[in-house]
């Protein structure tokens, strides 16, 4: 894992441990992850001109650059396990990952739902 990802994961684990209120989940769950990055200053090559013009009126633009969605998912799931939210990431039976760029500061939102 690259050092910048490890640093993010360590910070996420600390926050998750502070927010944890329930027992460790040891059964099937659905996880939804929305990774939100700050909007680039200039239009990226992968963003069409019309979408770029509407970026302020919509919820942003798709973030089609690194890190890859599967890597975002892996880091978040590892953080959930390390923080004691999930017993093991093998219990994730449904996983949805989205990446957006928005005008505000970036963040990652995570929802874990027992199924």
Domain regions of the chain by residue span:
3-12+29-114
Q: How far apart are CA 85 and CA 78, in angstroms?
A: 10
Q: Where are the strands (E) in 24-103, listed by range?
A: 29-38, 61-62, 92-102
CA angle (90 as vertex; 25, 64 as ends), nearest 5:
105
pLDDT at 1 over 80: no
Give pLDDT, residue 92: 97
The string of pLDDT tens digits covering residues 98-109 is: 999 888 777 888
User: Per CATH, is 3-12+29-114 categorized as 3.20.20?
Assistant: no
pLDDT at 89 over 90: yes
In sequence order, the β-bridge partners of residue 100 are 36, 62
The string of pLDDT tens digits covering residues 37-84 is: 888 889 998 888 988 888 877 778 888 888 899 989 998 999 999 888
Give the side-chain half-sphere CA count within 13 A for 25: 24
Look-up: residue for tokens 């302020």? 56
Q: How far apart are CA 93 and CA 78, in angstroms?
A: 15
CA angle (18 as vertex; 2, 27 as ends), nearest 5:
80
For range 13-25, the mean pLDDT = 79
Share of the chain above pLDDT 70, in %: 98
């Amino acid at each position: 894992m690259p050092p910048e990802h490890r640093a993010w994961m360590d910070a996420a684990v600390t926050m998750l441990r502070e927010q944890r209120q329930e027992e460790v989940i040891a059964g099937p769950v659905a996880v939804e992850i929305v990774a939100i990055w700050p909007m680039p200053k200039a239009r990226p090559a992968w963003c069409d001109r019309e979408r770029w013009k509407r970026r302020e009126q919509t919820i942003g633009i798709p973030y089609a650059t690194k890190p890859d969605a599967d890597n975002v998912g892996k880091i978040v799931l590892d953080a959930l396990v390390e923080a004691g939210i999930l017993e093991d990431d093998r219990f994730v039976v449904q996983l949805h990952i989205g990446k957006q760029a928005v005008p505000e500061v970036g963040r990652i939102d995570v929802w874990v739902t027992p199924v």
